Amino acid sequence: MVEDAGYASKTDSVVGDDDPVYSPEEQRKIIHRIDRRLVSTVGAMYCISLMDRTNLSAAAIAGMTKDLKLSVGFRYTYTTQSIITLVFFTTYIVFQPPSTVIVRKIGPRIHISLITFLWGALMIGMGFVKTWKDLAALRVVLGILEAGFFPSSVYLLSTWYVRYDMGKRYSFFYIIGSVASACAGILAFGLMQMNGLQGYAGWRWIFIIEGTLTCCLGIAGYWLVVGFPDDAQNSWKFLSQPELDFIIRRVNKDRGDAKVQPFKVSKFLRAGLDLKIWGFAMLFFNTTTMTYALAYFLPIILRDGMGFSVGAAQCLVAPPYAFAGIITYITGWLGDKYRVRGPIIAFNMLLCLIGLPIMGFHKKAGVRYFGIFLTTAGANANVPAVLSYQANNIRGQWKRAFCSASLVGFGGIGGIAGSLVFRSQDSPRYHPGLYACITCCLLTLVIVASLSVKFYFDNKKQARGELVIEDSDEDHQQGFRYTF
């Protein structure tokens, strides 16, 4: 159904027997060294990123709403939910496309570590704001800084691995982020206990301490983040040049795009003419609408919709995200092993379609909480699944950069939608928000089915020699086929 991936065998896409320099065992050691350094580092930074991006709900129920008078008018809890939440995404979306160009020009080591340190400093500043307008202004700048992280990280990871290595790596990268979502509530509850220390409210300490952690990780990132395979020789205590050459050979054999062509605006933007890129982007929009809605409002839903106390609401966020991490890795592993992407996405959406009605319509809080497990698992597992789906079906460095930016940009739009779907006047059942999430699930299934039909017929044409899939100015790789 899909093409063999270069050095991959049918059961293990990590190593192969035909490298002229390294044995399979040596190849495996090199790949695992990349996993430990690259995936772990950007995963930890993504963990902090998610904490910093979604700690508003924790701060809100810890006293921020009252202190900054957010419950009055169009601020945090009114009809459109939160102007403070929304302003972040305006700059977050706009500044993503240039970030994938900038990271190629100055390198991930400087770009990613610098913006991480700067947004950490910004988070500390949020702990000292006096009015909601000050907080909103800082959130605008936070959107500019965080816009560069996720698309750059997704792009960086895609350049190091062959197509059927990506599912597990993206899953592990995102699982570390899910750990952040799981632990953020517990951490926030602990920081709330600092209420009154040095004269500051507990919600302020949430921003101050988490911002300090971010700054420390940004400084460490300067040494730990690695460059792209073609310029990673200067990365601190990483791979040797022969080992980097092996990675480049491996990627070229898989999809033929390890070599970076000179940047041209026309070449970068030309990728936008490919309709499937916007299909992938819509898949990510549907997914992030649900993940952001859960991240922003799950503590509030648990408190106001299900009757749990503030402490219980903060802590009960953790178990569903821990379960989501397990499902995320299992589906990523299965996707790589059997070289499928669309069926994994469909399965995750079915989990959501089962969980959402339970979450919204059952009368018992305990059963509704079980529905949260299924919904959280399906929605979050689809983030790396969609990332792998698009990464497996495009070629070319600048097209890959454009696709990462457009995908994550639509994810930011999903963040806006996610901040709007659960409205305070819909409490305690939040039915309109649940209907919106169910619609996203159904639309995802329609898009995956449509892309699968297209890929099936294009692969048939490729097999008959009637079509070169993902042809580019870089080369004409006749063997590239779409992954369902």
pLDDT for residue 424:
67
pLDDT over 70 (residue 5)? no
Residue 131: CB atoms within 10 A of its CB come to 11
Contact 179, 325 (CB under 8 A): yes
Whose structure tokens read 């020789």?
Answer: 233
> pTM of the predicted model, to two decimals?
0.80
Between 159 and 181, the more confident residue is 159
pLDDT for residue 9:
38
Alpha-carbon distance 59 to 80, whole Å? 19
Alpha-carbon distance 107 to 85, whole Å? 30
Contact 376, 294 (CB under 8 A): yes
Residue 193: CB atoms within 10 A of its CB come to 11
What confidence tens digit (pLDDT) does each residue in 204-255 have? 998 999 899 999 999 999 999 998 888 877 788 888 889 998 988 888 887 7
Q: Given pLDDT bands bounded at 50, 70 and 90, which one contains residue 180?
A: low
- pLDDT averaged over every residue in the chain: 82
What average pLDDT score do residues 312-324 get? 82
Q: Given pLDDT bands bounded at 50, 70 and 90, which one contains residue 82?
A: low
Lowest mean per-residue pLDDT among 132-136, 215-219, 274-278, 362-366: 362-366
Contact 143, 91 (CB under 8 A): yes
Percent of the chain topping pLDDT 70: 87
Q: Comparing C-alpha atoms, which of 48, 245, 57 is closest to residue 142? A: 48
> And the tokens for 171?
């899953």
Residues near 475 by Cβ (< 8 Å), separated by ≥ 6? 256
- Read off the amino acid at residue 387: L
> And the tokens for 186?
């517990």
What average pLDDT score do residues 333-351 get? 93
pLDDT over 50 (residue 79)? no
pLDDT for residue 74:
43
Lowest mean per-residue pLDDT among 218-232, 397-411, 440-454: 397-411
pLDDT over 80 (residue 308)? no
pLDDT for residue 193:
87
pLDDT for residue 167:
86
What is the residue-wise DSSP string for 312-372? Answer: HHHHTTHHHHHHHHHHHHHHHHHHHHHT-SHHHHHHHHHHHHHHHHHHHH-S-HHHHHHHH
Contact 212, 120 (CB under 8 A): yes
What average pLDDT score do residues 352-360 get? 91
pLDDT over 50 (residue 8)? no
DSSP state of 261: P
What average pLDDT score do residues 48-60 get? 76
Q: Work out the angle at residue 173's Cα, subtended by the Cα atoms of residues 168 and 174, and round it to the nearest 5 degrees.
A: 100
> And the tokens for 23?
């044995």
**304-308, 318-322, 441-445 — which one is most confidently predicted on average?**
441-445
Between 475 and 251, the more confident residue is 251
**Domains of the chain as residue ranges with CATH:** 24-230+268-463 (1.20.1250.20)
What confidence tens digit (pLDDT) does each residue in 112-156 have? 999 999 999 999 999 999 888 888 899 899 989 988 888 888 888
Contact 229, 251 (CB under 8 A): yes
